[in-house]
Chain A
Amino acid sequence: MPLRFRTLALLAALSATLCAASAVAQSDPQASASAQHLTVSLLVPPHDLYPGQSFAAGLDFKLEQGWHVYWTNAGDSGEPPTIDWKLPAGITAGPMQFPAPTRLPLGPLMDFGYENEVVFPIPMQVAPDTHSAHGPANLAAHVGWLVCREVCIPGKADLSLTRTLLSAAPAAPSVDAAGQSLIAQFQAKLPQPLPASDSAAFSTTPQGFILDVRTNSSPSSAQFFPLDQTVVANAAPQPAHSISGGVQLALTKDENIQGTPHQLNGVLELPTGAAYIIHATPGATTSAPPLSPSEEGGIVGAAALAFLGGILLNLMPCVFPVLFIKGLALVQSSQQERHRLRAHGWVYTLGILVSFWVVVAVLLGLRAAGRQLGWGFQFQSPVFLALMAMLLFFLGLALAGQFEIGLSLTSAGGSLAQKHGYAGSFFTGVLAMVVATPCTAPFMGAAIGYALSHSAWVSFVVFTALALGLAIPYLLLAYFPGWSRVLPKPGAWMEILKQAVSVPIFATVIWLVWVYLRVAGTGLALIGLLAAFLLLAIAGWFLGRWPARIGPGIVATVFILGAVALPVSIIRAMPPPHVETAVVFRNGSNVQIGAPAPGAWQPFTPTALDQARAHGHAVFVDFTASWCLSCQVNERLILDRADVEQKLHDSGVTLLRADWTNQDPDITRALAALGRSGVPTYAIYPADPSAPPQVLPAVLTPGIVLNALNSLPKPDRQSAALARPISQ
């Protein structure tokens, strides 16, 4: 191809020399070239050039959807386009100018560039003393670029066009008006020097830089694009807030930067679209609150939601067993003095707090390690499930009366040492948190999604609010013993209640075993877990038959260790659950193999979603998991209801089920894109790919689903025609 272009250019130049008049073509075909995924054109609007003239030329890239070319600092990968001119004597081209780019996230990386179309303006000059060579002037340029989507393709082209060089400015200049206005449109996006009245300064923090830019406005957001590479961590968020007469951004530094830069160079883009070239110097920056009012409002809102969600968690079915335990502990402690009650309340709160903090630390650590996880992910680990099932089974045995646990989770009676009592309260808190996790109830989903998409300390605040919400009912009871006086006096009935509590505990064990089966599979893994229960039962018998004896205690410990080791070692020996097993499970459970009937649920993949929308279908995605109780409830009671099912069928939406029982990065990403981090999540993606998806509440009613389907834009004529015979 390049060869042919060169030949063409040569021919053009030749014919231009031979026949000057006809060479001034209105549109020169060789001025543009089609390459893979883009068309590149040279724009030189004036048809006539003359001495002393200055004008803007442009290099125009029209890109296929999804493909991009790069800014002058390409970011973490990629390279900017280059241009190398061959111009007649007297005509000079200035450097290519780069309009303000957009951020192009790519997994953990961040590139800076342009999608759809970009024109790089180029200032051109005709020297005032260019009187010697009049006639056709051939403007040629060798252009190179890198165009990327998932993959990168380098390209190059030789472009050229011919203009007429006059001896003086023409009376009536003729220009390519379309080209000129296109260039002007992108010139407007060029970053401007900061006005003399404005200033930019930065200070250094351990994490990076605080950048203060004084403009005459106080925008609450802005984006900084570093001109220098390896100074700022490109992908890091740039929290911004307005300061008096300007805007402040917190930038994260490149980990490998040595010392402090003398200048922070970059482009600052304001929400208005105005962009400024910044050369910030070290100086004092405003020590304003670290958050903008809007973001602060966001945090307060998210924390409030998390707090409410935490309170609601107390009512969730998966926390019920723990509620029983807590209630029991409360009854036992109602005879205690007020300050001890309070102390227990606080220790219980601390137990919840500490375990939530551990989780947030682990979550952030795993996220840092590059794994995207969502809430409830621990229920995707068979080891965790097995250990949870065993813990609750053992607890159930104790409650049923097989033995007494020294460090009783059911907390302190008056006879137990105070230390043990506090430990009991603490671990009751831990247990409440652990068991509460699968209930990503309405408030939790949004709050945690918010937290995980923000910085570490925001996550910390939200999780703390969640923990306090979970703890507050018990804490209040501890603080107002008047309320607990309503509770009955301790007596023989307590033993009966304790034994009765073992029933919901065993029910929870059954649920956990069911989830475990879904993740680890039947066969050896199941036998291993059941055998572990047997070992625990034997250990329990030793503890109950010979309480507080060293020998039987050791034997029991050995049995417990054996019980823990058995399923864990079997799981370790098994191949880790792969995507394949998830697919098999999905096919086996909810989805038919082979061509699905119209209106049937199909497994979710990003491709399936895109294809359906590309074919003009709206898509309803049910994000679910077998360990998620509220998901099952929604599916059985709402989505599978005859009228809802009929409506889903008639409205012609494509139904996709995203089964998150096992970890699936595609689904995690799709959830993240919706701002959610867990299931249940229900989303309706309109057929128009540019329209945002609608996320339905986590607790569905038939009305919610029907209204959402009714509010969808009417399908295009083709699919409407298809849908009509069905609905009639």
Chain B
Amino acid sequence: MAHPRRTLSVLAAALAFTLAAFAVRVGTQAPDFTGTDSHGQSHTLSQYHGQYVVLEWTNNGCPFTRKHYESGNMQALQKKWTSRGVIWLTILSSAPGQQGYMTASDQNAYMAREHADPTAAILDPTGAIGHLYDAKTTPDMVVIDPSGKIIYEGAIDDHATTDPADIPHSKNYVNEALDEAMAGQPVAVAYTRSYGCSVKYSGAE
């Protein structure tokens, strides 16, 4: 087992090595993508040029994601920012059979039950959008400004735990980035290590 495991890890490492060369970098143009949401609607990032866009990677089975949904924190963020004209795209990159994979109707039922309010929940079972953005964990947050530039990438807040009790005294990086950018200021914390469960891509062990 040791041998194939090592080979596999070498290959995975090589894969990631080349991935790194293409990784999404804060301050650069966000790569364009097209995805279909849970209502069958197609969304292309470039169609939202001129607006702030938040990308949120989710997996409703992941305890780190559940921390923010069961506490209502994520829904509150979605409502707060979509009401101010921000486009909020929740992205599901779990592969079929993996934790967090949802059919369109499952996802709609889940969002209704949790009172989630993103602009759209994009189903990405092939992981194409996730790989394009090098999304590592759920949650993983990306904030894009009206010119299409990435202004924040990383964790949702500064408490890498699964305990909802930590939320009230956490510093929410998405709020900070949007507040600062909308006030015309540079984003102070533009990149953090996102925390959570690994994104359940097809092919992840």
Contact = CB atoms under 8 A, between A and B. Distances in A.
Is the A/B pair a real complex? yes
B5 to A, nearest CB: 8
Given A76-B137, A692-B3, A255 B197 contact: no
A453 interface: yes
B15 A674 contact: no
A669 interface: yes
A665 B203 contact: yes
Contact of A230 (B4, B193, B197): B193
Nearest to B21: A368
Nearest to B10: A453
Nearest to A366: B18
A106 B195 CA distance: 15
A256 B26 contact: yes
B25 A108 contact: no
B9 A105 contact: yes
Contacts of B10: 237, 453-454
A256 B25 contact: yes
B104 to A, nearest CB: 17
Contacts of B111: none
B158 to A, nearest CB: 12
A111 to B, nearest CB: 7
Interface in A231-246: 233-237
A103 interface: yes
Interface string B157-186: 000111000000000000000000000000
Nearest to B17: A236
A236 B16 contact: yes
Interface residues of A, number: 53
Contact of B98 (A150, A455, A669): A150
Nearest to B160: A79
A77 B16 contact: no
Contacts of B202: 665
B195 A79 contact: yes
Nearest to B195: A79
Given A368-B19, A370-B131, A452 B99 contact: no
Contacts of A689: 1
A286 B191 CA distance: 32
A148 B26 CA distance: 29
B68 interface: no
Contact of B4 (A236, A364, A674): A674
Contact of A108 (B2, B3, B16, B26): B16
Nearest to B8: A673
A442 interface: no
Contact of A110 (B12, B153, B160, B196): B12
Contacts of B204: 106-109, 150
A154 B63 contact: yes
B36 to A, nearest CB: 14
A593 interface: no
Contacts of A370: 15, 19, 127-128, 131-132, 201
Nearest to B202: A665
B14 interface: yes
Contacts of A178: none
B116 interface: no
B63 A152 contact: yes
A229 B137 CA distance: 14
B58 to A, nearest CB: 14
A255 B15 contact: no
A235 B198 contact: no
B61 interface: yes
B26 A150 contact: no
Contacts of B122: none
A185 B25 CA distance: 42
Interface string A53-82: 000000000000000000000001111000
Contacts of A194: none
B65 to A, nearest CB: 10
A674 B3 CA distance: 9
A417 interface: no
Given A77-B198, A237-B17, A256-B153, A672 B63 contact: no
Interface in A199-236: 229-230, 233-236
A692 B2 contact: yes
Contact of B1 (A148, A369, A691): A691
B48 to A, nearest CB: 23
Given A150-B98, A673-B8, A233 B20 contact: yes
Interface of B: 1-5, 7-26, 61-64, 98-99, 127-128, 131-132, 134, 136-137, 153, 160-162, 190-193, 195-205
29 contacts: A77-B137, A105-B13, A108-B15, A109-B198, A109-B199, A149-B205, A150-B99, A151-B61, A151-B99, A151-B200, A152-B63, A152-B198, A230-B193, A235-B20, A236-B20, A237-B17, A256-B190, A367-B14, A368-B21, A372-B203, A454-B14, A669-B203, A672-B7, A673-B4, A673-B5, A673-B11, A674-B7, A690-B2, A692-B4
Interface of A: 76-79, 103, 105-111, 146, 148-154, 229-230, 233-237, 252, 255-256, 258, 364, 367-370, 372, 452-456, 665, 669, 672-675, 689-693
Given A109-B16, A256-B26, 18 more contacts: A105-B12, A106-B198, A106-B204, A106-B205, A107-B203, A107-B205, A111-B198, A150-B98, A151-B200, A233-B16, A235-B13, A235-B16, A236-B13, A236-B20, A237-B10, A367-B14, A455-B17, A692-B4
